[in-house]
Amino acid sequence: MTETGPIRMLLAKVGLDGHDRGVKVVARTLRDAGMDVIYSGLHRTPEEVVTAAVQEDVDVLGVSLLSGTQLTVFPRIFALLGQYGAGDMIVVAGGVMPDEDVAAIKAMGVRAVLLQDTPPETIVTTLRRLVAERGAR
């Protein structure tokens, strides 16, 4: 929990990836753990996702990708967060991606990469830890 209530999170599918079963399972897991979760739906642009995350004042922006676009999506997301003055928002990634891309997006600022085989309890504890480490905004 944050100092003002439950952890607020926006989960997003960016680009043309049309598969969202996994992100819906994650959303349910996080809600069951007491988090306030917004799912943006399929086929969102980085602009739509960042705008929604800022407007909703979320603690965490989670982006799920299966389409292989992580090396172009995350630089755009971080640039937009900077433009909005929301550089302290925690950004995490999920889905499927090669190990070298995981290292690259972490170097960009993605705080955690929770791939498709990450146990649900690990997702919950990771997000709670990241929010606690960041502290109040």
Q: Tell me the whole-structure pTM to 2 decimals.
A: 0.94
What residues does 69 pair with on adjacent strands?
none
Q: Are 58 and 26 in contact (CB under 8 A)?
A: no
In a domain, 125, yes or no: no
Rounded CA separation 123/9 (Å): 12
**For residue 99, what are the domain limits?**
8-119
CATH number of the domain that residue 74 is part of? 3.40.50.280
Q: State how many domains the chain has.
A: 1
CB 33 within 8 A of CB 124: yes
pLDDT (tens digit, 0 to 9) for every residue of the chain, 137 residues total?
A: 555 689 999 999 998 878 888 899 999 999 999 999 999 999 999 999 999 999 999 999 999 998 899 999 999 999 999 999 999 999 999 999 999 999 999 999 999 999 999 999 999 999 999 999 998 76
Q: What are the beta bridge partners of residue 5?
A: 2
